[in-house]
Homo-oligomer: A and B are copies of this chain.
Amino acid sequence: MSKAAGCRGFLHHVFDYETAKTLVIPHFGVGIVFRFTQLLVVLYVVGYVCVVQKGYQETDSVISTVTTKVKGFAYTNTSDMDPRMWDVADYVIPPQGDSSFFILTNLVVTPEQTQSHCPELPNPSTVCKDDCDCIEGYNDPRRNGIRTGLCENFSTTVKTCEVFSWCPLEVDTRLPKKALLAAAENFTVLIKNSITYPKFNFHGRNILPHVNSSYLAHCEFNRLTDPDCPIFRLKRIISEAEADFQEMAVKGGILGILIDWSCDLDWWAGKCLPKYSFRRLDSQNQDNDVAPGYNFRFAKFYKRADGVEERTLIKAYGIRFEVIVFGTVSDSESGCNWVMLTCMRKRDLYTKEKVTYLVESPDSEPVSMGTTYGTQ
């Protein structure tokens, strides 16, 4: 074979058009089934791909809003503090009732701090013998202030370098072993959650249509007896998350209140109800439990009659609750599968007609074809 011919053959091969062979069966019953199946596929494409798939993308822009309102008060009467009644304006921080709120359960209070001088807390790097050990102006970011250069009595036995800071310094080792606001376990929180799937124009609310004001005034969430009540007792929430309120209240923690709005909008929308679950979000029970709990410091500022600014520093331990709303709309995959199965069934039905056996002797061949259509 010449080179030119080989090349021409190659080109022929490159530009050959290859397509599957098909068999047309002019049988009315079979044809009806075939066209009906095609119709189903078209309906599937139009219905599923155009309507549902488009809908599926929209779920990304679900709009949710949450407000929370805590109720309850606690009375404390310890040796450190005067008797005191704590209400929401004292223990809910910040007060706005957002989807994330913090409930104070334990605290270290350092009252009457002013900008002044005081000896540092004892520590290998702050203990001193005389003023020479304390360099004026030195500041260690892990300590509490700027050194004045003096060595002062911290207690009758220990001398430490004096610093300029908010004095007296906080001694946060005096954290109560039992949470001060142990009574917080009986506080309740009303959660109002409205959601919208904007392009579906679907609106949902966790206060269900059948819930009225008088029910709301007395109900309390219980997975078995009151699953629709949007008022939650803190103790119950935390036990559902498999944690212990009193243990969590001492050092603080973070708890997730999950509201799942996943539902199938193809069916009766009234069935689209919120499902609550609870989960402790800060890591605990781990082998490596460094930096456990949750706390932060804040201050209340006062001005004395003489114009000096004074503050009460509070190291607040407590539980941060985070209401997390999520949900995707069901994508009707069951419908899809049904169509698929139908197509599959068709294939099985006509498998015989479709296959042609290649056998040793050419004459024994087209058995199936012969028996089915060849003798028409």
- The answer to whether A19 touches B311, judged by C-beta atoms less than 8 angstroms apart, is no
A sample of 16 more A-B contacts (CB under 8 A), given A94-B96, A210-B288, is A15-B32, A16-B24, A17-B30, A18-B25, A18-B355, A20-B21, A22-B354, A23-B356, A65-B256, A75-B164, A89-B166, A89-B298, A207-B288, A302-B302, A362-B373, A362-B374
Q: A334: CB under 8 A from chain B? A: no
State the main secondary structure of chain A at its contact with B.
Answer: mixed
- The answer to whether B18 touches A19, judged by C-beta atoms less than 8 angstroms apart, is no
> Once the chains are docked, how many angstroms separate the CA of A57 from the CA of B297?
39
A362 contact from B16, B94, B279, B376, Cβ within 8 A: B376
Q: A149: CB under 8 A from chain B? A: no
Q: Assuming the A-B contacts A17-B30, A279-B196, are A216 and B63 also in contact, with contact meaning beta carbons closer than 8 angstroms in the complex? A: no
- The answer to whether B376 touches A298, judged by C-beta atoms less than 8 angstroms apart, is no
User: Which one of A122-130, A136-144, A154-162, A242-250 is at the interface?
Assistant: A136-144
- The answer to whether B301 touches A300, judged by C-beta atoms less than 8 angstroms apart, is yes
Q: Assuming the A-B contacts A75-B164, A141-B72, are A12 and B25 also in contact, with contact meaning beta carbons closer than 8 angstroms in the complex? A: no
Q: Assuming the A-B contacts A85-B165, A165-B85, A296-B97, are A22 and B283 also in contact, with contact meaning beta carbons closer than 8 angstroms in the complex? A: no
Hey, which chain B residues are within 8 Å of A322, CB to CB? 65
Q: A368: CB under 8 A from chain B? A: yes
> Once the chains are docked, how many angstroms separate the CA of A203 from the CA of B283?
9
Chain A residues in contact with chain B, CB under 8 A? 12, 14-28, 30-35, 57, 60-61, 63, 65, 67, 69, 71-73, 75, 82-85, 87-90, 93-98, 100, 102, 115, 139, 141-142, 144-146, 164-166, 186-188, 190, 192, 194, 196, 198, 203, 205, 207, 209-213, 216, 254, 256, 258, 279, 281-283, 286-288, 290-291, 294, 296-305, 310-311, 313, 320, 322, 324, 326, 328, 350, 353-360, 362-363, 365-366, 368-376
